[in-house]
Amino acid sequence: MAEDAMVMGHWIANESVPASDGGVLKSLNPLDDSLYAEVADGTADDIDRAVREAHAAFLAYKETTTTEREAWLCKAAELLEQRKEEFIAILINEGGSTRRKAEFETNKSIGFIRAAVGIVRQVSGKTLPSDYPGRISMTWRAPRGVVAVITPFNVPLIKASRLCANALATGSTAVLLPSEEHPVLALKFAELLKDAGFPSNALNVVTGNGYKIGDCLTAHPLIKSVTFTGSTVVGKHIQQLCAINNKHVTLELGGKNPLVIMDDANLKDAVQGAVRGVFMHQGQACVSSSRVYVHEKVFPAFVEMYVKVVSNLGMGDLNDPDTIIGPVISERQRQRIKLHIEDAREKGASVATGGTWDGNRCAATVLLNVNAEMKAFREETFGPVVCVYIFSDFDEVMKEANDSNYGLSSAIYTSNIHRAMAYAKGIEAGMVHINSPSITDEAHVPFGGVGDSGFGREGTEADLEAFTELKWVTIQTD
């Protein structure tokens, strides 16, 4: 065990506790697969304890005042800002983030917590007209109870800050199950909420392998709402469990997002959008625009400009702001990326740049001449790999862009507003960005997709719906 490796337990009742069977999970630094930390490897008993503790806490927490919850959330945002460097270091060393991505994620998370403060006074209802004389008819919102929050490895702080803070803002409590590849970040976030003043058990964290204990959490009878970010396969499984038990569920899943570049686009902006939209966090993003469609009139110029920029993306020290490409999170994911690249090569695709590896880092890769026989054509690679296609007219590209089971994010670069709006109306995706990258998010927007990309939406307004129940109340006055 590395001398400086941390040892951490679950976070239950505002303290660190070991796994019920003493099991330990190793968290590795993806740069070189060295040991970063040892955390508790959760069991079904650990999940049960965490949920029951959160439920017991909910009975009192739901009665906390708006002033108290606002104060705790404001303090949490303040503490995260003060401890920014600590969280940036965890994102780099446990998750393989570059400094630029870690700073972006931390700053965004501070904003998400501050946005949650606004939810506190939006847990409200309205008066309604009634068919009956002397009747006062009204609605109000009540917190659902314990929310299961299941977060991914790629943006763990963004997801924890948004979803846990939003749940707590409504008066619900939460149990957080982080990715087994990024558990320390979640435990440190829970400690921060304790320091911000949140009551014991308002947020519990159980670490471990989601394949082993995820069902214990989502199917637990005291869990009233589930929010999951991860793969489509797991998301559909969770959706089935929630359907059986009639639970509210929000799923933010995979993406194979299209970026369309018309012949009237500003090519410099389009190139930058395609770089950011694909290679942020080395392509490990559900909103990554891994399919780029370029009009035939500008295809040669775009490819030349794009390949030149992509081939020079920095792969140096992760703490260097000029470094763009970091390591891929795990050996399993590295093998998937290698398979997609080699499969494309063997079936006739050309590698315009990249396709090589430096340790656990895959160089930013641009594939041309990709066809439907190749895995990279339809499957989500979730790495620094982009397929660039040529098209001749708008109707053709709309058909190709919609030829996917996914429908998360999308983007178009054009100077024609009519064409831009036609794209926005016609694209089968939950989010559309005109003259900006597909990899975009804000605290209050409805974030999510359609098809295999998810079910429901995240965001302050959407989470207010997800984490509360609407209740109808009448009073007969005479």
pLDDT value at residue 4: 74
CB 326 within 8 A of CB 97: yes
CB 224 within 8 A of CB 144: yes
Same-domain check for residues 144 and 180 = yes
Token code pair at residue 112: 């998400």
pLDDT value at residue 5: 82
CB 249 within 8 A of CB 201: no
pLDDT value at residue 1: 44
Cα–Cα distance for residue pair 176/291, rounded to 1 Å: 33
CB 208 within 8 A of CB 16: no
Best CA proximity match to 111, nearest among 460, 466, 378, 403:
460
Total number of domains in the chain: 2
Same-domain check for residues 209 and 349 = no
The range of the structural domain enclosing residue 171 comes to 6-253+453-475
pLDDT value at residue 478: 87
Q: How far are the Cα atoms of 33, 37, 271, 312, 317 from residue 359, in angstroms, in the given order?
A: 10, 21, 27, 18, 13
pTM above 0.75, yes or no: yes
In a domain, 1, yes or no: no
Same-domain check for residues 171 and 240 = yes
Best CA proximity match to 191, nearest among 14, 47, 19, 27:
14
**DSSP code for 458:** B
Cα–Cα distance for residue pair 369/5, rounded to 1 Å: 46
Whether 252 is a known active-site residue: answer yes
CB 442 within 8 A of CB 396: no
In a domain, 448, yes or no: no
Residue length of the chain: 478
Same-domain check for residues 232 and 264 = no
Query: Which regions in the chain score pLDDT beneath 70?
Result: 1-3
Same-domain check for residues 220 and 289 = no
In a domain, 240, yes or no: yes
Catalytic option among 38, 252, 380, 458: 252
> How open is the CA angle 106-214-460, to the nearest 5 degrees?
40
Catalytic option among 242, 286, 362, 387: 286
Best CA proximity match to 443, nearest among 117, 70, 78:
117
Cα–Cα distance for residue pair 134/402, rounded to 1 Å: 54
